[in-house]
Amino acid sequence: MSKIRLNSFVTLCGALALTFGAGSAALAQDGRDPAYAAARAAGQVGEQKDGYLGVIGNASADVRAMVRDLNNKRRAIYTEKAAGKSTIEEYAFATACRLIAQTQPGEKYQATDGSWQVRSAGAPDRDPRCP
Amino acid sequence: MKALELTGSVPAATSPAMMSQAQYDPQRKGLRFGGRAVCAAMLVLGFGSALGGCVNVSAPDKPIVIELNINIRQEVIYRLSQDAENTIKENEGVF
């Protein structure tokens, strides 16, 4: 686990040096399944503005099944965390604001108009209600 | 053409001077004015076709409600922001 973390950190430092110095980049996930990480990097999977993952284009059945599974897990987490605080949708939306901000350049995210965008080095096109 | 003429005659008919004392009611006039303001706002938003309905609609409530919803929602999202961040960190692999 610590080796994976170290590797991730080294990769991140490289990405930071090459692209931009936003602190949010350091929060990228490092516990991802390799298939999920690969699908994200390949632009087959993107962050939706509602807090769930979306499949872009004609991805394989494996990728679709993986996204369905991850979204089910996300929904379970949102449901649990939102209890007593907000609606599930609001919690998911608040998380989406963070998740889209944390996408790495080259990854895909859903813009305010619903279209899929490739994250550039600059700020992503997020909902104006995002903090 | 006939419709245009009829429309043109409406402002004159609503003028207090043109109405009998019994018909003229300042409060009613205020409401009418509000209706016009909403009508103008709707026109700006592109709802030009709703012109006919504007006169009688008690519309001021609606935009206010929508605005309120956005504010409440935004407040909730601000409050949840740090919580969401922690959730993302706690559930590596899912996010």
Backbone torsions φ then ψ of A95, nearest 5 degrees: -70, -40
ipTM confidence score: 0.75
Residues B68 and B51 occupy one common structural domain: no
Q: Do residues A129 and B73 touch, judged by C-beta distance below 8 A?
A: yes
Residues B15 and B28 occupy one common structural domain: yes
For chains A and B, count residue pairs whose Cβ atoms are closer than 8 Å: 69
The label of the residue with tokens 């026109």 reads B43
Residue A98 to residue B81, Cβ atoms within 8 A: yes
The one-letter code for the residue type at B68 is L
Residues B17 and B51 occupy one common structural domain: yes
Residues B46 and B12 occupy one common structural domain: yes
pLDDT above 50 for A131: yes
Question: Is the CB of residue B1 less than 8 Å away from at least one CB of chain A?
Answer: no
| Domain count of the fold of chain B | 2
Q: Do residues A36 and A54 touch, judged by C-beta distance below 8 A?
A: no
Residues B53 and B64 occupy one common structural domain: no
Distances (CA, A) of B78 to A102, A103, A125, B73, B91: 17, 20, 18, 9, 21
End-to-end CA distance of chain B: 63
Question: Is the CB of residue A66 less than 8 Å away from at least one CB of chain B?
Answer: no
The label of the residue with tokens 């407040």 reads B75
The label of the residue with tokens 């991850």 reads A70
Residues B34 and B11 occupy one common structural domain: yes
Determine if the pTM surpasses 0.80.
Answer: no
Chain B residues with CB under 8 Å of A31 CB are 92-93
Q: Which of B80, B89, B93 sits opposite A85 (nearest CB)?
A: B80
Looking at residue B60, its pLDDT comes to 64
pLDDT digits (tens, 9 = 90+) for A107-118: 999 999 999 999
| Domain span including residue B88 | 60-95
Question: Is the CB of residue B84 less than 8 Å away from at least one CB of chain A?
Answer: yes
pLDDT digits (tens, 9 = 90+) for A75-130: 999 999 999 999 999 999 999 999 999 999 999 999 999 999 999 999 999 999 99
Residues B43 and B2 occupy one common structural domain: yes
